[in-house]
Amino acid sequence: MRPSDLPQVRALRLFDSMEDESFAALMQASYLQTFPAQLDLIHEGEPADFLYVVIEGCVELYASSNGREATMAMVHPVGSFILAAVLKDVAYLMSARTCARSKLLLIPAQNVRDALGSDDGFARAIVQELAGCYRGVVKEYKSLKLRTSVEQLANRLLRYNKERCDAHGAFELPYDKKTLASLLGMTPENLSRSFNTLKPYGVEVNGAQIKLTDVKALEALAKPHPLIDERGN
Amino acid sequence: MRPSDLPQVRALRLFDSMEDESFAALMQASYLQTFPAQLDLIHEGEPADFLYVVIEGCVELYASSNGREATMAMVHPVGSFILAAVLKDVAYLMSARTCARSKLLLIPAQNVRDALGSDDGFARAIVQELAGCYRGVVKEYKSLKLRTSVEQLANRLLRYNKERCDAHGAFELPYDKKTLASLLGMTPENLSRSFNTLKPYGVEVNGAQIKLTDVKALEALAKPHPLIDERGN
DNA sequence: TGGCGCCATTGATCTGGGTCAAGTGCGGTG
DNA sequence: CACCGCACTTGACCCAGATCAATGGCGCCA
């Protein structure tokens, strides 16, 4: 574990109120590994051996059933994934693969559970993290149930615009369109069409580069709502 | 609070490892209320003032956006709802209404948070409960993303059959078909049609009474999978 | 008992999105 | 540079499910 990565991990809400000794012990037991792109890290149904933290790169969580596959979430630095399975010591519900060359911290599940039992600050942070994860997936579930594909895309673009807009008023899509389509629960063909549908609402597309030239019109179509679109609470 | 309801509540995994004094204090601060059917208990967006426990009856959690509404979950005795919002002291993401005359225990949110901070057994139980809630909604999200409406209904019927099958090999739907349709993310018309689609697979429908006469054939269509269909872990 | 409201079913029609296929562009490799 | 593979776009066609409308059944109420 490179010492320069430690502050980044320590600053995660999950770990920031942990006792120094607990945190040091947990990091001592952990592994920092670099993985190439398109590598399967875990498979749904397997027992949860590690809690994963993305230090660099990007990880796709996906699910498969009956010959079908869907992207469930994307994890960026310095996010963690698969916490619930680790805490309950049960099987993963989703598989994970890197979508770029990635550096990941692997924390043995048993050590996480031990620390939960011995460090109150950690336990409280875990409660807040789990509650946040729960609310995050409820929001995604709401979006899928209550919105059309075009509406979902419009809201996603508004969020990216808010988070990533550069000096030219444009932003770059955080991952390829095929993955974005799967994340939104549609086919790549339909994503392409949805972008075209949004053209009259000021959405200019140049590959992965997007520029929103009429945010007001797009918002009128998208109808963003904090109870679905806000992240982090 | 009627003393006869206490053991039921105490036996909930959320409370069963709580210190006696903590539990008594929490119950002392709580209210037991009876509500008629079709009564709105909370509205999404409101601050979380209480943790709710269903003692008798049934509660529907639903979400609204942009003129659309969808059932998100149904809560039976002795289940709780809205735990994450209580713990994070943030707004509810879903509204709730009774779908039958219901007796509910209302536990003030601040008291729950206080108990979380002072009772380790409770904190640990909350972690397990939240992790379970998270995994439950991930499974619902997976089902919606990966299955057709007919497949969802087939799996739902198989689950009810397993849970509720009586001596005649039949079971009663746990709520009206309109609600079931909304829970499965379809219209009542389409639910009706889906039942007809399942007829050749041995699904006999008489109002709310259902009989599965060829479970094997239905399973071949439904393709149940524990990572989506199992509840409780 | 009659009237009303609501749920559920059924039919006709529509539509958002999927499937299939072909074409284009781009990056990587030898 | 040529070739290949893959992502993405576009068009044609299909279809699962929604919408709209009508009907029947049931429970409730005066």
pLDDT recorded at residue B2: 66
Per-residue pLDDT, B41: 94
Q: What is the DSSP letter of A23?
A: H
Question: A149-164 and A215-222 helices cross at what angle (nearest 10)?
Answer: 140
pLDDT tens, position by position, B12-22: 989 999 999 99
Q: How much is the pLDDT for B8?
A: 87
- Mean pLDDT of the region B189-198: 95
Q: Are A125 and A17 in contact (CB under 8 A)?
A: yes
In this structure, the answer to whether residues B28 and B139 fall within a common structural domain is: yes
Q: Which band of pLDDT confidence, cut at 50, 70 and 90, is reported for residue B166?
A: confident
Q: What is the mean pLDDT of residues B111-135?
A: 94
Q: Above 80 in pLDDT, residue B233?
A: no
Q: Does B24 touch chain A (CB under 8 A)?
A: no
What pLDDT is stored for residue B112 in this prediction?
A: 96
Q: What is the CATH number of the domain that holds B115?
A: 2.60.120.10
Q: Point out the domain boundary residue: B145, B165, B200.
A: B145
pLDDT at A165: 84
pLDDT value, residue B145: 93
Residues 6+ away with beta carbon under 8 Å from A60: A71, A73, A74, A75, A96, A97, A98, A99, A175, A179
**Considering CB atoms only, which of B87, B90, B146 is closest to A63?**
B146
Q: Å between A149 CA and C15 C1'?
A: 13
Considering the domain architecture, whether residues A154 and A141 belong to the same structural domain is answered as no
List the beta bridge partners of residue A203: A212
Domain that holds residue B15: 3-145
Q: Tell me, yes or no, whether B123 and B155 share the same domain.
A: no
pLDDT at B125: 93
The answer to whether strand D lies under 7 Å from the CB of residue B186 is: yes
For residue B44, list chain A residues with Cβ-Cβ distance below 8 A: 227
Domain boundary among B116, B145, B174: B145
Cβ of residue A225 lies below 7 Å from strand D: no
Q: What is the mean pLDDT of chain B?
A: 92
B198 shares a domain with B139 = no
Output phi, psi for A102, to 5 deg.
Answer: -135, 145
DSSP structure string for A28-68: HH-EEEEE-TT-EEE-TTSB--EEEEEEES-EEEEEEETTE
The C-alpha of B43 sits at a distance from chain A's nearest C-alpha, in angstroms, of: 12
Where residue A181 sits, what CATH number does that domain have? Answer: 1.10.10.10
Instruction: Provide the β-strand partners of residue B47.
Output: B91
Contact predicate A109/A89, CB 8 Å: yes
> How many domains does chain A fold into?
2
- Residue A2's pLDDT is 66
Spacing of A85 CA from D9 C1' in Å: 40
Q: Are residues B13 and B107 in the same domain?
A: yes
Same domain? A77 vs A174: no
- Phi, psi values for residue A154, rounded to 5°: -60, -45
DSSP structural state of residue A91: B
Dihedral angle over CA of B81, B82, B87, B91, nearest 10: -170
Average pLDDT over residues B183-198: 95
Interface list for B 104-133 with A (CB within 8 A)? 116-117, 120, 123-124, 126-128, 130-133
On whether both A91 and A11 belong to a single domain, the answer is yes
Largest CA distance in chain A: 57
Q: Which two tokens stand for residue B215?
A: 């479970």
Q: Two tokens at A78?
A: 């310095």
Helices B149-164 and B188-198 cross at an angle (nearest 10°) of 70
A193 and A131 inside one domain: no
**Are B134 and A134 an interchain contact pair (Cβ–Cβ within 8 Å)?**
yes
Q: Which residues contact A64 (CB under 8 A, 6 or more apart)?
A: A44, A95, B146
Q: Which nucleotide is nearest to A206 (CA to C1')?
A: D8
Residues B200 and B222 in one domain: yes
B116–A126 CB contact, under 8 Å = no
What per-residue confidence (pLDDT) applies to B212? 94
CA closest to C18 C1', residue: A187
Nucleotide nearest to A207 (CA to C1'): D8
Residue B115: partners with Cβ closer than 8 Å, 6 or more residues away: B18, B22, B25, B26, B122
- Distance between CA atoms of residues B69 and B232, nearest Å: 27
Q: Are A39 and A65 in a shared domain?
A: yes
Question: Quick one: DSSP state of residue A138?
Answer: H
**Same domain as B11, residue B107:** yes
Q: Which positions of chain C lie under 7 Å from any protein Cβ?
A: 7-12, 16-21
* Interface contact B223-A151, CB threshold 8 A: no
Mean pLDDT of B29-37: 92
Clarify whether residues B82 and B138 are in a common domain.
Answer: yes
User: Whole-angstrom Cα distance, residue B42 to residue B200?
Assistant: 42
Written as one letter, the residue type at A135 is R
User: pLDDT, tens digit, for every residue of B43-78?
Assistant: 999 999 999 999 999 999 999 998 899 999 999 988
Instruction: State how far the Cα of A46 lies from the Cα of B108, in Å rounded to an integer.
Output: 39
Q: Give the confidence band of B1 by pLDDT, cuts at 50, 70, 90.
A: low
Per-residue pLDDT tens, chain A, 233 aa: give them. 667 788 889 999 899 999 999 999 999 999 999 998 889 999 999 999 999 999 999 999 999 998 899 999 999 988 999 999 999 999 999 999 998 889 999 999 999 999 999 998 899 999 999 999 999 999 999 999 999 999 999 999 999 999 988 878 899 999 899 999 999 999 999 999 999 999 999 999 998 999 999 999 999 999 999 999 988 87
Question: In sequence order, which residues have a C-beta less than 8 Å from that of residue B21 and are 6 or more positions away?
Answer: none
Q: Rounded to whole angstroms, how far apart are CA atoms B71 and B186?
A: 10
